[in-house]
């Protein structure tokens, strides 16, 4: 996924959720509805979360520096994880507590309020628009792969996180409307409190999902097995490669991979036969055989260096996501 697409998704989500948060708190002040309070906290958590996502995107776009030789691409994973923790403790904790408190101590309070319902419908419109944009971006990212795979395969969970948050937000609004309606028309104030608890649980599940999604990347996740197999096949097909002793990868950030590989080169690819024949003749006639051997050894070092450089260029041309290569000669 392009960085511009991800940034656009997050910006739209921040603006939409910021407006929705203000509106929901106004609706809660007028209605006293526990589910409306839960939804206000929900939107506040989403807004703060997406602001942290934007911080992560900005930091992650910085290139290599003296302090960070490999860049800071994985900064977005760190900030995504921090935002997930915030959603868990604020969104899940506060919302669930308020719902339980209302259920046991204030079950008779609150009720239907037309303004609150209109605010929720307004929020549904904005959240739905943001959700459609997130679906469009993630659908472009998956490039025909099944949806069930994209959650596991993605190396940029930012738009996936926004998609999941927006989906939970839309579900939460529908539940809040249901709670308001049941409280007003059926007199089930307890049902409104139960909806608040359900919304809190949804936020908790969302936070755990986001934490898992980003945690595996912070831990140094390797590329997909299929991609690693393709990389290994490419290296083995090279004429200068005789054997791959070790191959490891780690995702540094979105579209950024580090490769560590130990290769046993084919000796025939490192030998200049014509130059060796010339050296043999020089050894027969030269008074300083050491100089001839020294020149031969120096040439071999240059040949190995040139072969390594050519192989690294070939790897990066074939696999543009590989931005760092640690190549060691085995044997």
Mind listing the pLDDT tens digit for each residue in 89-142? 777 877 777 778 777 765 444 444 677 788 888 888 888 888 888 888 788 777
Q: Is the model more confident about 152 or about 227?
A: 227
Segment 53-67 mean pLDDT: 79
pLDDT at res. 320: 92
Segment 240-247 mean pLDDT: 91
Q: At the topology level of CATH, where does 3-218 sit? A: Alpha-lytic protease prodomain-like (1.20.1510)
- Given a cut of 50, whether residue 2 has pLDDT beyond it is no
Mind listing the pLDDT tens digit for each residue in 87-100? 787 778 777 777 78
Where exactly does CATH 3.30.70.1350 map onto the chain? 225-329
Q: How far is 71 from 55, CA to CA, in rounded Å?
A: 15
By the 8 A CB rule, do 300 and 270 touch? Answer: yes
Confidence of residue 228 (pLDDT cuts 50, 70, 90): very high
pLDDT at res. 244: 93
pLDDT at res. 310: 92
Half-sphere exposure of 256 (CA within 13 A, CB side): 21
Mind listing the pLDDT tens digit for each residue in 8-32? 777 887 888 888 888 888 878 877 7
Q: Is the model more confident about 65 or about 124?
A: 124
Instruction: For the chain, give the mean pLDDT.
Output: 80
Where exactly does CATH 1.20.1510.10 map onto the chain? 3-218
The sign of the CA dihedral 284, 287, 289, 291 is negative
Question: Phi/psi of residue 258, each to 5°?
Answer: -110, 135
CATH architecture of the region 225-329: 2-Layer Sandwich (3.30)
Residue where the block lists tokens 């139960």: 194
pLDDT > 90: what percent of the chain?
12
Lowest mean pLDDT across 145-154, 186-195, 214-223, 317-326: 145-154
pLDDT > 70: what percent of the chain?
88
Highest mean pLDDT among 111-115, 148-152, 233-237: 233-237
């Amino acid at each position: 996924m392009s960085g511009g697409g991800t940034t656009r998704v997050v910006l739209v989500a921040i603006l939409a959720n910021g407006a929705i948060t203000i509106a929901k708190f106004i609706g809660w002040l007028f209605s006293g509805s526990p589910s409306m309070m839960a939804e206000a906290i929900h939107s506040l958590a989403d807004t703060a979360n997406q602001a942290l996502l934007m911080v992560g995107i900005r930091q992650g776009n910085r290139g290599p520096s003296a302090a960070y030789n490999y860049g800071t691409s994985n900064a977005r994973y760190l900030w995504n994880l921090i935002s997930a923790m915030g959603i868990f403790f604020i969104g899940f904790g506060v919302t669930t507590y308020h719902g339980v408190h209302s259920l046991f101590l204030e079950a008779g309070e609150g009720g239907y309020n037309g303004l609150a319902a209109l605010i929720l419908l307004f929020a549904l419109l904005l959240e739905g628009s943001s959700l459609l944009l997130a679906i469009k971006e993630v659908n472009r990212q998956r490039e025909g792969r099944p949806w069930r795979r994209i959650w596991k395969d993605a190396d940029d969970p930012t738009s996936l996180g926004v998609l999941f948050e927006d989906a939970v937000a839309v579900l939460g609004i529908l539940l809040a409307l249901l709670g308001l309606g049941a409280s007003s028309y059926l007199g089930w104030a307890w049902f409104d409190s139960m909806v608040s608890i359900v919304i809190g649980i949804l936020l908790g599940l969302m936070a755990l999902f986001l934490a898992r999604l980003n945690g595996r990347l912070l831990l140094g996740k390797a590329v997909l097995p299929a991609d690693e197999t393709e990389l290994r096949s490419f290296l083995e097909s090279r004429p200068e490669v005789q054997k791959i002793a070790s191959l490891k990868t780690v995702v540094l950030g979105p579209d950024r991979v580090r490769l560590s590989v130990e290769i046993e080169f084919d000796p025939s690819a490192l030998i200049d036969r014509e130059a060796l024949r010339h050296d043999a003749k020089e050894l027969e006639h030269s008074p300083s055989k050491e100089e001839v051997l020294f020149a031969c050894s120096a040439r071999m070092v240059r040949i190995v260096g040139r072969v390594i450089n050519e192989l690294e260029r070939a790897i990066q041309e074939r696999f543009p996501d590989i931005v760092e290569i640690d190549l060691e000669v085995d044997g």
